[in-house]
Structure 1
Amino acid sequence: MIKPDIKSLYYITHIENLPSILQRGILSHKKVEELGVSYTPIYDSGIVSKRKDKSTSVKSSLWEYANLYFQPRNPMMYRVVHEKDKRDIAVVGVKPDVLAAAGGLITDGNAANDPTRFFFIKEGIEILLKQWKIIQNEWWNELDGSKRKIMAECLVPEQISPELVHSVFVADYKAKERVETIIGSAKVPVIPEPNMFFQPISARRIGNNISLIDGDMFFSNMQTLTISVNLQGVMGKGLASRAKYQFPDVYVVYQDACRNKQLTATKPYLYKREASLDQELADLSLPLVTSNAIKWFLLFATKRKWRENSRLEDIEGGLDWVRKNCNEIGIQSLAMPALGCGLGNLDWAEVGPLMCRYLHDIGIQIAIYLPREHQIDPKYLTNEHLLNHS
């Protein structure tokens, strides 16, 4: 049988629980109560009680299992990092040997979700193989079920041995320092993995209001997100394809804007979307009371036809429109990709200074997300090049 490439499983917890985990292992809620172990929760009581009331295929409560995810960067993690301080959260990496645990189960999604099914390990591995691409993805969607499936779990009765813990992952180097102090002499590597916690890999400041970000723009904290599009109404690749998949209403608005000539080569179109991204991206085992992430989408034409390359003069025209209109139309902060530098085949060495010239000092915060397709020479990421380039 072909198996999915499972290098690790993951347990999300509060960093204050790490000494206990490294000593006793990862315990089920029932075991925690029986042993009287003191712990710091990261989930609200409603989520925990819902799992207590949910039975598995062998009629045991989820309360009796320690649960691991195959993908920690999931809707539950999204919920936790938006309700807690990200530096209070740790992800414990567990060796795949845990799959040999007696009585273990695998689910095809969030175990507390009604449609989710439970399987014994061998059959569960076969199910995972069919949805492994979903589990390894960077995003999800409520409509096609991937939001539930990406949270597939391994359930282990009572306890996972501390010997199976191979690493602890945290959001950044400050969290790493805190964890290393908390766990003392325990010989387990503590590894900063910002992307796992929906944080940028890196950020640097340019001028007064611009940040250059290496990360995922769709999880930006800016109020408005920019989607690079063409003028033919086709969202086939890149950021546009992802927007079409993750937020179908954006695609409908985009096609209307093309059809009605509201979007042109030098005039972006602003979609003042009213739905909350938090509600769509976070696990909603219970309502997300703190949700307030209303995002707008700026549809910015970087191509006239989807098969063509981007034109620098069109991008300059669109940037000029943004500079002149962003405050008037209510944009409070703006995230942008490196316009035309991916599928448009333009060079950041030219595009970067152009973007910074038009976006610097316009009265709002700007986050420019660097191309993910290739590395940029550091000399093209400096203030000198981006703000003083002729």
Structure 2
Amino acid sequence: METNKLLFHMTHIKNLPSILKNQELLAYSEMALRNTLYQDIANPRIQERRSTTSIPLAPHGSLHEYVPFYFAARSPMLYSVLHNGTNQEEMVYLVTDTETIDRSGVPYLFTDGHAIMVISEFYSDLTELNKIDWPLMEDPFWKDTEEDPDRKRRRQAEFLVHKKVPIQLFTGFAVINQLAKDRVEELLKNHQVNKPVGIRRHFYYK
């Protein structure tokens, strides 16, 4: 089983200055402790459930103590954000991969489905990445079907990094178009961060 897989964290472009200034991407609980200003794009009900969802493996805690990543772009979360009125041009992907995180020594876990769902399982060894539904991750269509009513949960499998992710662990950024690329590159330049920004239209919806 290939153990090096891309990871995608999606955030609003308004959050980039804080991330770049601090040189790290913080978990929700860490942002609260530091009173970090944050443009939250998540559903409030989902955030509440994440705050009370306990992690069964070390280093334990709640989901809010972990920085979440998806194994695929074009997530159900982005679909929800889009239909709540947020412009996709303002959504930025921070990209890294499993082996980069593993080599760094920061604690991590991952799940085989949406982490707040009771039936989702938690894992801590990259050799267990075969628990992820990789064909579904590569499918542009993830909605549940009559034959398979569990697709949406599995598509939202998460890779969870404890507390924070240093900016040097990111391989780059992905955006929807040239205008967004220019905006992100300007922010990177202002904070003296040298990372590539790629236009990846297929990471977004029409």
SS in 1 for 2:51: helix
Output aligned runs, 1:1-390, within 5 Å. Answer: 2-3=1-2, 6=5, 8-22=6-20, 23-58=22-57, 59-83=60-84, 84-96=86-98, 97-100=100-103, 101-122=105-126, 124-128=128-132, 131-143=133-145, 144=148, 145-183=150-188, 184=190, 185-199=192-206
Gaps of at least 5 residues in structure 2 are: none
SS in 1 for 2:130: helix
Q: Which amino acid aligns with 1:194?
A: R
Verify the 8 A CA contact 2:111 2:122 in the aligned structure 1. Answer: yes
Q: Which amino acid aligns with 1:154?
A: F
Number of aligned residue pairs: give it: 195
User: Shift in Å at residue 121 of structure 1?
Assistant: 2.4
User: Shift in Å at residue 155 of structure 1?
Assistant: 0.7
Distance 1:71 1:182 in 2: 25
Q: Which has the higher contact order (CA 8 A, sep 6+)?
A: 2
Distance 1:99 1:146 in 2: 27
Distance 2:157 2:54 in 1: 16
User: Shift in Å at residue 126 of structure 1?
Assistant: 3.2
SS in 2 for 1:21: helix
Question: 1:141-198 CA distances to partner (integer Å, 9 max, x unpaired)?
Answer: 3242121111111111101111111111111111112222333242112212111011
SS in 2 for 1:195: helix
Q: Which amino acid aligns with 2:14?
A: E
Q: Which amino acid aligns with 1:93?
A: V
Q: Which amino acid aligns with 2:45?
A: G
User: Shift in Å at residue 5 of structure 1?
Assistant: 5.1
Identical columns (%) = 27
SS in 2 for 1:180: helix
Question: 1:189-243 CA distances to partner (integer Å, 9 max, x unpaired)?
Answer: 22121110113xxxxxxxxxxxxxxxxxxxxxxxxxxxxxxxxxxxxxxxxxxxx
Distance 1:70 1:28 in 2: 18
User: Shift in Å at residue 107 of structure 1?
Assistant: 0.1
Verify the 8 A CA contact 1:66 1:156 in the aligned structure 2. Answer: yes
Gaps of at least 5 residues in structure 1 are: 200-390
Verify the 8 A CA contact 2:3 2:127 in the aligned structure 1. Answer: no
Distance 2:157 2:49 in 1: 17
Verify the 8 A CA contact 1:64 1:157 in the aligned structure 2. Answer: yes
Distance 1:126 1:9 in 2: 15
User: Shift in Å at residue 105 of structure 1?
Assistant: 0.7
User: Shift in Å at residue 102 of structure 1?
Assistant: 4.3
Distance 2:9 2:142 in 1: 20
Verify the 8 A CA contact 1:4 1:132 in the aligned structure 2. Answer: no
Distance 1:174 1:82 in 2: 21
Question: 1:4-24 CA distances to partner (integer Å, 9 max, x unpaired)?
Answer: 551x21101011111222333
Normalization by structure 2: what TM-score?
0.86
Verify the 8 A CA contact 1:110 1:116 in the aligned structure 2. Answer: yes
Distance 2:200 2:112 in 1: 26
The runs of 4+ residues in structure 1 deviating greater than 4 Å are none
Distance 1:186 1:176 in 2: 14
Structure of greater Rg: 1
Change (3 A) 1:177 1:120: same
Q: Which amino acid aligns with 2:120?
A: T
Q: Which amino acid aligns with 1:98?
A: I
Change (3 A) 1:191 1:165: same
Distance 1:99 1:78 in 2: 29
Distance 1:166 1:103 in 2: 19
